[in-house]
Structure 1
Amino acid sequence: MSVTATEADDDSGTGTQSLVVTPTAISVPEGATATYSVKLSRQPTANVTVTSTAGTGDADLTISAGASLTFTTANWNTAQNVTVAAAQDADTTNGSRTITVASAGLTSVSVTATEADDDGGTPGTHVDNPYAGATGYVNSDWSSKAAAEPGGSAVANISTGVWLDRIAAIAGSSSAKGLAAHLDAALQQDAANGSTPLTIQFVIYNLPNRDCSALASNGELKISENGLNRYKTEYIDPIAAIMGQSKYSQLRIVTIIEIDSLPNLITNTNIAACQEAQQSGAYVQGVQYALNKLHAIPNVYTYIDAAHHGWLGWDTNFGPAAQLFASTVRGTTAGFASVDGFITNTANYSSLTEPYFTINTTVGGQTVRQSRWVDWNFYVDELSYAQAFRQRLISEGFASNIGMLIDTSRNGWGGSARPSGPSTSTNVDTFVNESRVDRRIHAGNWCNQSGAGLGERPRANPATGLDAYVWIKPPGESDGSSSEIPNNEGKGFDRMCDPTYTGNARNGNNLTGALPNAPISGQWFSAQFRQLLANAYPPVN
């Protein structure tokens, strides 16, 4: 079900008080939960109590948290969540129930909760949303490192992505499981689930000239050295052969296709390695080959990387990127059917939502788009960008049921530096800088960001058009080394990972905001994990 909820904000403090509820329709996976948020349209003069009451409908749908919320003169504009649970049952009906959100003297709002039943499918069938009604695979390689950190056991059982970032990662090593070993471990976890399906996530990440604009995540294959053919025969073919084995058919295998690749063809073709990727067609042909091989396996799901709002949010990038994705996918054997959805913010830090201003906020007669931070972008956070980009993709020919994922592993931005409300400044730059929860020096900064925190925990159907919030980047795994470290993984030294570097045009010639003493990308970075845990938002209990 897709319902658009329009927020009528009145942040100026004038006008009629009303309830702001988003979204007004939610899908709740059977045996799991989903949420909607509530806040007020203007500052009250006294505390306001808002209640959510379940009415007629499917009794398996109940309010498990947030049935009564209190808004004060300080937190009135901070959205609070109401959690709806769907009990596990034996029927095959997607029941629904109406929930009334009410407060004395205000017009009530109705929320329709619909159960996403999980009893109708059979193992190996391709469902619309692989995360709905499923549990997530816990990678013990990552989990053991997280649990060994102080307080880390609180998040060590969360599902994270497995990165197949070089050919050798397929077979694995003595210190890291390979693809088949992960899938075998997933089968064991699935067996303990009973009838509940299990989703396991892999990042497909080894194109020739990979990450052509960022040295820290460069790969082992080069276009000029037969890289595209090696990508197909030594990398994608073995992955597809393993994933396609019948013993894994009951698993829901999610693949994240080549992060940063196609977006680089939109913005960075002034860089020689990106220009070569564009002119040779290697990125497009590689992505098409991966989609053809992986989509052919019924229980494999494909999500293409769509960068983030601080990369493609400008109109000069937004439309051309959607068109490039569409033309690339049209060239696959199955066309648009070969793609289940897209993912944004992979391994990045862009805030999920900015609670204290929107792109429509004006300050002193100026739009926030004029601020140095927003810089005329059309989006200020990932959720608004992902939802808008999904609609643009559909207009380019993608199916209306494609789903979006947002990587929330490191975009929480909690801790003492997190603003508690909007700025009172009438200067647009000061207002944005004092109001934004994303505390990066510049939105173009991406490497081991100082002050970041764990974000929303993974869950299915969190918002309209979203299949899930996910942790694709395992928290604690470095983005790149702070100084040059020789290695045999093809990973270079990128100055954007150096905290002393004063930047380039892509980050407005600002300091990088990177943490010091970081190892090469993918290796464990204890100091970063501890900071992410301390600054988690929502906080880790």
Structure 2
Amino acid sequence: MVDVVRGPLRRAGVLGVVGGLVAALTVGGGAVGESVPRLGLRPLWSDPDSLAHAQLAAYETAGRTDLADALRPLAQAPTATWFTGDAPRERARALTTAAAAAGELPVLVAYDVPGRDCGSFSAGGAADDDAYLAWIRDLAAGIGDRPAVVVLEPDAVAFAVTGCSGVDRRDRLGLLRRAVEVLAALPGTHVYVDAGHAGWVQDLPALATALRAAGIDRAAGFALNVSNFQPTDVTVAYGRKLSHLLGGAHFVVDTSRNGAGAPVATGRDEDWCNPPGRRIGRLPTTLTGEDVVDAWLWVKRPGESDGSCRPGEPAAGEWFEGYALALVGV
């Protein structure tokens, strides 16, 4: 199954919420409360200062209406904001304050665990466990009591299951559990512990065990497909199996670049690092129509590079204009 985006961009979640409320009132005598998504009725936050917005503005200023029209669905869709390194408190405070003022729900990604990305293109992270927990507390202080979703440490649990040189599995999972405890204690924060993607860990009992050790019992659930390309139907089927092993845990799915499905696997980094032929997927919303899926999210910001995977490609997180245009079919 291939996910595609059709029609004009809508404010994520708003039309779905209205339709859901109407359905609850008119179909089968259901109560209004049944239609309210688990993350609430706020639309997801669309960052006006994103690199995609800047590119859209540049196209409009230059009179490139063809490119502006093509890029607009990508640029205006709500996307997550990644937090890596440096003191995150003020940035998190500014972001969540702006989102709260707009009546929107921001998605933050905590990505600073020691040994991050197993030394690959996004290598880095805090110097040690103490530094990491201080960083998490700083992030939490910035979020405060304002509403937020936090996707915790993409790839960290999956690497603990499959193995990563220099990373102690028990220490990694215990550290994540302590991070969950700090963030989940915030009154308005929903924490989703990253669990990799459907093409990675196939030993689901082992993954479930690792997620328990990482504090899934304190979290709102787990996250799947972050920065990856697995089709949504495949991901939901995988997530349901994992959810069953975790007693019905909910999850969110990154649909930012899975509109054409996953590339053919070759066993090389290029399989997941700026692979050609990909497309944006379902627009972000908290109205998924799936009982255990809390949201389709754009956790990866489409158009920002996965890394310098090939000669001339930008570093991880930098704007990649050609790739962004390819994602929208230009």
The TM tier, using the shorter chain, reads: 0.7 to 0.9
Find the aligned partners of 1:205 and 1:183 in 2 and give their Cα distance: 17
Contact map agreement 2:100 2:147 (CA 8 A) in 1: no
Distance 1:339 1:534 in 2: 37
The correspondence for 2:142, drawn from 221, 242, 247, is 242
Which position in structure 1 is the counterpart of 2:163?
A: 268
In structure 2, stretches of 5+ residues that fail to align are 1-11, 60-66
Aligned 8 A contact 2:174 2:213 in 1: no
SS in 2 for 1:144: helix
Aligned partner of 2:232 in structure 1 is 352
Q: Which residue, 384, 407, 413 being the options, matches 2:237? A: 384
CA distance in 1, matches of 2:117, 2:31: 41
Match of 2:190 among 284, 295, 301: 301
- Deviation (angstroms), 1:221: 2.6
Structure-2 separation of matches of 1:33 and 1:289: 35
**Match in the other structure for 2:8:** none
Counterpart amino acid of residue 147 in structure 1: L
Quote the offset at 1:116 in angstroms. 4.1
Instruction: Give the match's secondary structure for 2:283.
Output: coil
Alpha-carbon spacing, 1:391–1:118, altered in 2? closer, same or farther (3 Å): closer
Counterpart in 1 of 2:315?
520
Q: Who is 2:48 aligned against?
A: 140
1:477 maps to 2:304: yes
State the alpha-carbon separation in 2 of the partners of residues 30 and 520 from structure 1.
32
- Which one has a bigger Cα radius of gyration? 1
1:85-141 per-residue CA deviation (whole Å, 9 max, x = no partner) reads 5349xxxxx64505xxxxxxxxxxxxx97644689xxxxxxxx711x4220111122
Provide the residue aligned with 2:82 in structure 1: 163
Match in the other structure for 1:531: 326
In structure 2, give the amino acid aligned to 1:288: R
Give the structure with the higher percent strand.
1
1:440 aligns with 2:251: no
| Structure 1 residues 519 and 389: CA distance shift in structure 2, 3 A | same
Q: Which runs of 5+ in 1 are unaligned?
A: 1-28, 35-60, 62-83, 89-93, 99-111, 120-127, 172-177, 191-197, 331-335, 354-380, 395-399, 414-436, 482-496, 499-515, 536-541
Q: In structure 2, the residue corresponding to 1:304 is in which secondary structure?
A: strand
CA distance in 1, matches of 2:228, 2:109: 14
User: Per the alignment, in what secondary structure is the counterpart of residue 321 of structure 1?
Assistant: helix
Structure 2 partner of 1:33:
16
Higher normalized contact order (CA 8 Å, seq sep 6+, divided by chain length): 2
8 Å contact from structure 1 (residues 408, 457) kept in 2: yes
Q: Which residue of 1 aligns with 2:173?
A: 284
TM-fit CA distance, 1:30: 9.4
Change (3 A) 1:339 1:533: same
CA contact (8 A) 1:31 1:86 kept: no
Q: Which amino acid aligns with 2:163?
A: N
CA RMSD, aligned part only?
A: 2.7
Counterpart-to-counterpart distance in 2, 1:220 and 1:386 = 27
Change (3 A) 1:411 1:298: same
Q: TM-score, normalised by structure 2?
A: 0.83
The reply to whether residue 199 of structure 1 matches residue 105 of structure 2 is: yes
Q: Contact 1:146–1:155 at 8 Å: present in 2 too?
A: no
Would you say 1:407 and 2:202 are equivalent positions? no
2:77 maps to amino acid:
I
CA–CA distance in 2 between the matches of 1:203 and 1:298?
18
Maintained 8 Å contact 1:458/1:469 = yes
Match of 2:280 among 447, 454, 457: 454
In structure 2, distance between residues paired with 1:170 and 1:446 = 31
The residue correspondences of 1:210-229 to structure 2 (distance < 5 A) are 210-212=116-118, 214-222=119-127, 227-229=128-130
Secondary structure, aligned partner of 1:156: helix
Identity %: 24
Contact 2:80-2:301 within 8 A present in 1 as well? yes
Counterparts of 1:348 and 1:114, CA distance in 2: 37
CA 473–116 in structure 1, closer or farther in 2 if over 3 Å, else same: farther
Cα distance, 1:268 vs structure 2:
2.2
Q: CA deviation at 1:386?
A: 1.3
Which residue matches 1:103? none
3-state SS of paired residue (1:181): helix
Q: Which amino acid aligns with 2:101?
A: Q
Aligned counterparts of 1:451 and 1:230: Cα–Cα separation in 2: 40
